[in-house]
Chains A and B, each alone.
Chain A
């Protein structure tokens, strides 16, 4: 029995055979279990190669030689986010610096207190008319009105 050659089987699986050659292969494998099995094996190899190459291209099967923990290229993909984060951090630090070392100057206008309010030392505010009971702090009473 003359079997199909490996080249013929490969050519068929790769879609490289013309109509006449395809007919010959079709006819042969319909009566030859050996070549039918070989054709199945060639088809399985074809799918396997497609899977392997596809995985290599999408990077789902990384090389086991050296896999860096952190890829610079991956970080660069997030460049806009990194730049935004740096600017935001700088803005917060600058604002904290201003708040700490350059408090907003108090002017007379800023410290205007209505006539019926006064400020007790310790930060407690009371309305004069209510006669709040702070006997001990009476002498510490400070009027900050200009």
Chain B
């Protein structure tokens, strides 16, 4: 796995256009840039790492096939791949539950397809409250970080997300320093969430 978003000169929009027009090089760049995002999105949904990697691969394969057969008009990166992978994860979960039911094994809440759907749509009011709390804590904690740390976070996670190397060049620091800052601030956010989420 390579670091997220290394330099290529193409924006995601340009890259999507090139990929849809059939450029193999563009698809290689799409995969290099976004494959890991899809895996992380699946991990966040509770899919085990090995399954997440397989499902992500399957999602990209399907997208490429759809593009080649002309059935894909737009390619929103990486959200279309994440949605496709999420759908595949749901299907895999349902299949597993069906097989378990046929074999007579008890179906746990974790593997029940409906449980996954509820989690995806965030319809649970308690979960929504928790999520709002997490967002609040992250906003507050980020606001307390140094200006430099905030600049790094906005550059890496912003709408025109840049690679660590690009951010380092832009802010005049080493790539190692950018990554160290990311890890430090993430650890700080994690601690804040553990301590303060759920507080009034």
**Which residues of chain A are near B3, meaning CB under 8 Å?**
14-16
- Complex formed: what's the CA distance from A26 to B48 in Å? 10
- Complex formed: what's the CA distance from A48 to B132 in Å? 10
Binding site for A on B (CB under 8 A): 1-4, 36, 40-41, 43-44, 46, 48-50, 53, 134-135, 138-139, 142, 153-154, 157-159, 164, 179, 182-183, 186-187, 189-190, 193
Given A39-B43, A44-B44, A56:B187 Cβ within 8 A = no
Is A43 touching B44 in the complex (CB atoms < 8 A)? Answer: yes
**A83 → B minimal CB distance (Å):** 31
Binding site for B on A (CB under 8 A): 6-7, 10-19, 22, 25-26, 29-30, 36, 39-41, 43-54, 56-58, 61
- CB contact between B183 and one of A11, A17, A48, A54 (< 8 Å): that residue: A11
Given A51-B135, A57-B159, A40:B142 Cβ within 8 A = no
- Complex formed: what's the CA distance from A30 to B46 in Å? 13
**Which residues of chain B are near A51, meaning CB under 8 Å?**
135
- Complex formed: what's the CA distance from A18 to B53 in Å? 16
Given A36-B49, A58-B159, A49:B187 Cβ within 8 A = no
**A40 → B minimal CB distance (Å):** 6
Nearest-CB residue, chain B, relative to A13: B40
- CB contact between B189 and one of A18, A39, A40, A49 (< 8 Å): that residue: A49
**Which residues of chain B are near A56, meaning CB under 8 Å?**
139, 154
**Which residues of chain B are near A45, meaning CB under 8 Å?**
186, 189-190, 193
**Which residues of chain B are near A44, meaning CB under 8 Å?**
44
Can you show 29 pairs from A to B with CB atoms below 8 A apart? A6-B187, A6-B190, A11-B183, A13-B40, A14-B179, A15-B2, A15-B4, A15-B36, A16-B179, A26-B49, A26-B50, A26-B53, A29-B48, A40-B44, A41-B190, A43-B41, A46-B40, A47-B41, A47-B44, A48-B135, A48-B138, A49-B153, A49-B186, A52-B135, A52-B139, A53-B154, A53-B157, A53-B158, A54-B158
